[in-house]
Amino acid sequence: MAHALVAAHGVGDELTAEAQVMASNILSVPGYLPSVAARAWRWAPEMEDIAQTLRAAGLPVDMAEGAVAVMAHWEGDKDNYDLSVAEVLSHLQERSVH
């Protein structure tokens, strides 16, 4: 989606340059998840903005809206960096989201 969006705006080279400096092994570090959950509150609104931008570009919004839905499960974890990975994962399984 990112590549489709930047292509629509003519900034593909900038995305590629940014991606080259990003950590590429984040999935190999499950201990990073509590940090993600603790900061999800600030990313959800950004993902809503991304969904609007994708919609305006005529692109699918499913991934962005799905990310917002996932992050809603972590609303109660705001700024709590002391959670275990098991706790963070269990919050994803909760049915009711605030």
Decide if 30 is inside a domain.
Answer: yes
The C-alpha atoms of residue 64 and residue 44 are separated, in whole angstroms, by 9
Confirm whether 5 is domain-assigned. no
Number of domains in the chain: 1
Tokens in use for 87?
Answer: 């706790």
- Domain membership of residue 4 (yes or no) is no
Say what the pLDDT of residue 6 is. Answer: 83
What is the extent of the structural domain holding 38? 26-92
Both tokens of residue 78?
Answer: 């705001």
Q: Is 9 a domain residue?
A: no
pLDDT score of 15? 83
Please indicate, yes or no, if residue 6 is contained in any of the structural domains.
Answer: no
What is the pTM (predicted TM-score) of this model?
A: 0.76
Assigned domain for 3 exists: no
Average pLDDT, the chain: 88
- Give a yes or no: residue 97 inside a domain: no
